Amino acid sequence: MSKVNNDQTQNPNSMAETLINRVANSSIQTIDLAQFLPQKDFVVFDIKEYLFQGLILKEKDFRTSLKTSDWSSFDNKIALVICSVDAIIPQWAYALISTTLSPFVSDVFVGTEQEYIKAHYKSVLDHADFSSYQDKPIILKGCGDTKVPAEAFSIMALKLQGIAKSIMYGEACSAVPVYKKPRQ
């Protein structure tokens, strides 16, 4: 015969009443790097579509095509300028594309979406104010629906190092220590 605790038999919720969420009551601050992702859609401008026989950029034809193109599908998006074929593209062409697209898009970037996101994180985090994290334990949220590039975690850890009391990665229930400020 097993022993039964009389307190639990009288009130089955007594255990739940004594649970305390120490994470919610702590000074730990969670930073979700997904909040810094660009909020605009991407659209690709592939120079390949403007090449003569898919290989050669003819300046006069290229300029005419850019002037006569319908850019409505680029409206307020981030334009990613690429060339998906192995062709020699003069550097002035990138400048011309950028100035042509700028009235229609929110940003122009030469490169892929992943390259843009990495550069975007670098720019945003380089200009962010981290003073509110002074001497506080920080968790860089590591699990989420949105994929954040590893470079963003690296940049953030470097920015917080020396400011924060400690830096951890993951979730409060299973955080991995990354940095702890030395005691003075």
Q: What's the number of domains the chain is made of?
A: 2
What angle, 0 to 180 degrees and rounded to 10, lies between the N-to-C axes of helices 59-68 and 91-101? 10
Q: What is the C-alpha to C-alpha distance for residues 168 and 132, in angstroms, rounded to an integer? A: 17
Domain limit, last residue, from 80, 105, 130: 105
Provide the 3-class DSSP secondary structure of residue 85.
coil
Q: Does pLDDT of 25 surpass 50?
A: no
140 and 158 co-located in one domain: yes
48 and 27 co-located in one domain: no
> How do 137-141 and 29-31 pair as beta strands?
parallel
Buried b (16+ CB within 10 A) or exposed e, 93-123: beeebbebbeebbebbbbeeeeebbbebbee
Of 53, 33, 29, nearest in space to 122 by CA? 33
Residue 15 lies in a domain: no
In eight-state DSSP terms, residue 175 is P
Cβ(30)–Cβ(139) under 8 Å? yes
Domain limit, last residue, from 83, 105, 127: 105
pLDDT at 19: 52
Q: Tens of pLDDT along 161-174?
A: 989 999 999 988 88
Q: What is the C-alpha to C-alpha distance for residues 75 and 64, in angstroms, rounded to an integer? A: 20
121 and 145 co-located in one domain: yes
30 and 56 co-located in one domain: no
Q: Does pLDDT of 150 surpass 50?
A: yes
98 and 153 co-located in one domain: no
Provide the 3-class DSSP secondary structure of residue 152.
helix
Q: Tens of pLDDT along 103-143?
A: 999 999 999 999 999 999 999 999 999 999 999 999 999 87
- Per the structure, the complete domain to which residue 60 belongs is given by 42-105
pLDDT at 4: 46
Residue 64 lies in a domain: yes
Q: What is the C-alpha to C-alpha distance for residues 79 and 116, in angstroms, rounded to an integer? A: 10
The pLDDT-based confidence of 49 (bands split at 50, 70, 90) is very high
Q: Tens of pLDDT along 78-97?
A: 999 999 999 999 999 999 99
Cβ(36)–Cβ(124) under 8 Å? yes
99 and 128 co-located in one domain: no
pLDDT at 183: 84
78 and 94 co-located in one domain: yes
